[in-house]
Chains A and B, each alone.
Chain A
Amino acid sequence: MNRIRASISTIWAVSGIVIKELYRRKDFYVLFVVTAVITLMMASVNFFHEGKIVRYLKDICLLLIWISALVIAIATTARQLPAERESRTIFPLLAKPVTRGQVVVGKFLGCWLACGIALVVFYVFFGVICLAKQDHIGFWQYFQAIWLQWGMLAIVIGMVLLGSVVFSAPSANATICFVAVVSILILGSHLHKIAITEPEPLSVLLSSLYFLIPHLEWFYAVRDRLVFDQNLIPWVDCLLATLYAAAYVAIFLCGTWMLFRRRVLTT
């Protein structure tokens, strides 16, 4: 019990450093200001007294939030482990009673919580904009949107963390992961349809890929619910999506830990 408590305390301490790093760097503020400026500019324009303009505004603002959150998640995570090695901060850290597994979990948790904080800030802004343009906002719809987007970001963060022990340069890792995430979001749901039309062995390859990749586009669908003021997603579906994200996170973290624990760190 004591060991578990010590382990949790260490993981929290490591994650706290990641959160501090996020709010002391400029990335988050720049992305927030860009999102706010673009949204406010769009909000100030009135096209032909079009009543449905609020939908387009919400659509654009949410798109910017999704892009900003992805950029924050990928950029923050990609540099964590390489920066520890490059700046040699990993040595005083591992010279303490800290395991490499705790470092990996702490980094993941820190990045995920930092992204969660960023998401809340973005969605508060989004809510204010929506309230200015319409008379109500659905609290539970917003909760589901934030929760599922945060779940999707957990998968992305896990993937990028794994990439950071595979690829040597953080920039290469960030670029590859960003391309992979965008590809999944755009093509993920179509892979099995394409597979049917293709000859063997490409068909098998695409089908396998379809079942292997994390389907981030399923989480993206929640965005439309907010834009079109649709009904809530059934809570069971939300739970299943959460478990789906947790499973992928576990796989990515195990992979990261297995590679990182074998890595020889030379001072």
Chain B
Amino acid sequence: MSVEAPSILSTQSPARPSSNAAVIRIENLVVEYPGRGIGQRATTAVKDLNLEVYQGEVFGFLGPNGAGKTSTMQVLLGFQPPTRGAASIFGVDVRQPIARQRIGYLPEMTYYYKFLTSEELLRFYGRIFRIPRPELEVRIDSALKLVELEEARKRLIRTYSKGMQQRIGLAQALINNPDLLILDEPTSGLDPLGRMKVREIIQRLRSEGKTVLFSSHELGEVETVCDRIAIIHRGELQVLGRVADLVEEHQMDLERIFLKIIGYGMNHQREQRA
């Protein structure tokens, strides 16, 4: 049964930070996946998405599973071309590899080369960014210190726990000192201490003027760290605005706003009536 999700696209114009340079610009983005079988229709993952993320803000990109978040991120990272529309990072078309020079990306649940040690892994990624050797060694030291993996730096990644792998993922995302960090479920699989650490790192990056785009299902966390959020559902942008403004406007916490937008309340009521 399809339920019409109430569109509560924020009525106010989304507040933006004082530094108004758009780091990410998405214009009329459409992402379609061709049908796998003969006669099968193409699936539209993202429909006419327009979005801007400004310099120095922590932006939460939310939506239920299958909403189109990952497809949007894949376009931003150049993993797949947009079907229609355009996306740019720092004014460079995302299809150009150079657009990724100033990005740090932490994928959800990724395993790194298990036959490498963490410092070898960071050295490898550092070489891709062509960071000079002496500077790279300094950055490796500080990244490993930041994610508290200094003692395990000479151990093969195959011996790491899940939390340690997530932390080395964060370190590799920071090795090029990125101006934009894209984090896909950064706290997934982490214990409370690990989550707190990730939150601290995000806040620290914000204080350094970095831009962070992150997707998460942990709405409490989003409420704590994000300046602005976008909620996407069935490929369409439903809400875009400041967290504080949305909470005030709807007189409910972010979790309830989220559930309302994805039509959970209506679904639930219909089920109860039935």
Show the binding face of A for B, using Cβ within 8 Å. Answer: 6, 9-10, 12-13, 16-17, 20-21, 24-25, 87-89, 91-99, 264-267
- Interface membership of chain B positions 154-178, coded 1 if the CB is closer than 8 angstroms to chain A and 0 otherwise: 0000000000000001001100100
Q: Of A6, A21, A87, A91, which is in contact with the most chain B CB atoms at under 10 Å from its CB? A: A91
Other CB < 8 Å A-B pairs besides A95-B78, A265-B74, A267-B184, 14 of them? A6-B130, A9-B130, A10-B128, A13-B127, A16-B124, A17-B124, A91-B107, A94-B77, A94-B78, A96-B128, A96-B176, A97-B129, A264-B33, A267-B108
Cβ contact within 8 Å between B111 and A89: yes
Residues of B close to A89: CB separation below 8 A:
110-113
Q: Of A89, A92, A95, which is in contact with the most chain B CB atoms at under 10 Å from its CB? A: A95
Does B97 interact with chain A (Cβ within 8 Å)?
yes
Residues of B close to A10: CB separation below 8 A:
127-128
Write the nearest CB–CB distance from B7 to chain A, whole angstroms: 28
Residues of A close to B176: CB separation below 8 A:
96
Cβ contact within 8 Å between A267 and B74: yes
Given A13-B128, A265-B79, A95–B100 Cβ distance below 8 Å? yes
Tell me which of B105, B109, B110, B116 contacts A20 (CB under 8 A): B116
Cβ contact within 8 Å between B113 and A92: no
Does B44 interact with chain A (Cβ within 8 Å)?
no
Write the nearest CB–CB distance from B133 to chain A, whole angstroms: 12
Given A87-B111, A96-B100, A264–B128 Cβ distance below 8 Å? no
In residues 141-161 of chain B, which contact A (Cβ within 8 Å)? none
Cβ contact within 8 Å between B110 and A92: yes
Closest 7 CB pairs of A and B: A95-B105, A13-B127, A24-B115, A91-B107, A97-B97, A87-B111, A88-B110
Given A88-B107, A266-B74, A267-B74, A94–B79 Cβ distance below 8 Å? yes
Residues of B close to A91: CB separation below 8 A:
77, 79, 105, 107, 110
- Interface membership of chain B positions 92-116, coded 1 if the CB is closer than 8 angstroms to chain A and 0 otherwise: 0000011011010111111111111
Question: Can you list 12 A-B contacts (CB < 8 A)?
Answer: A13-B128, A21-B113, A25-B115, A87-B114, A89-B112, A94-B78, A95-B105, A264-B33, A266-B74, A267-B74, A267-B107, A267-B184
Residues of A close to B50: CB separation below 8 A:
none
Q: Of A12, A13, A16, which is in contact with the most chain B CB atoms at under 10 Å from its CB? A: A13
A267 to B109, CA, bound (A): 10
Tell me which of A20, A21, A98 contacts B128 (CB under 8 A): A98
A98 to B103, CA, bound (A): 12
Write the nearest CB–CB distance from A223 to chain B, whole angstroms: 33
Residues of A close to B101: CB separation below 8 A:
97
Write the nearest CB–CB distance from A156 to chain B, whole angstroms: 23
Cβ contact within 8 Å between A99 and B112: no
Does B125 interact with chain A (Cβ within 8 Å)?
yes
Cβ contact within 8 Å between A20 and B120: yes
Tell me which of A9, A12, A92, A95 contacts B112 (CB under 8 A): A92
Write the nearest CB–CB distance from B46 to chain A, whole angstroms: 14
A211 to B169, CA, bound (A): 49
Cβ contact within 8 Å between A267 and B79: yes
Cβ contact within 8 Å between A92 and B97: no
Does B207 interact with chain A (Cβ within 8 Å)?
no
Tell me which of A13, A88, A265, A267 contacts B124 (CB under 8 A): A13
Residues of B close to A95: CB separation below 8 A:
77-79, 100, 103, 105, 107, 182
Write the nearest CB–CB distance from B78 to chain A, whole angstroms: 7
Cβ contact within 8 Å between B129 and A96: yes
Does B70 interact with chain A (Cβ within 8 Å)?
yes
Cβ contact within 8 Å between B79 and A17: no
A9 to B16, CA, bound (A): 39
A91 to B107, CA, bound (A): 7
Cβ contact within 8 Å between A92 and B116: no
Residues of B close to A99: CB separation below 8 A:
97
Cβ contact within 8 Å between A92 and B120: no
Q: Which single residue of chain B is at the shortest CB-CB distance from A99?
A: B97
Does B80 interact with chain A (Cβ within 8 Å)?
yes
Q: Which single residue of chain A is at the shortest CB-CB distance from B99?
A: A97
Q: Which single residue of chain A is at the shortest CB-CB distance from B107?
A: A91
Write the nearest CB–CB distance from A246 to chain B, whole angstroms: 26
Cβ contact within 8 Å between A9 and B127: yes
Write the nearest CB–CB distance from A219 to chain B, whole angstroms: 31
Cβ contact within 8 Å between A20 and B115: yes
- Interface membership of chain B positions 65-89, coded 1 if the CB is closer than 8 angstroms to chain A and 0 otherwise: 0000010011001111000000000
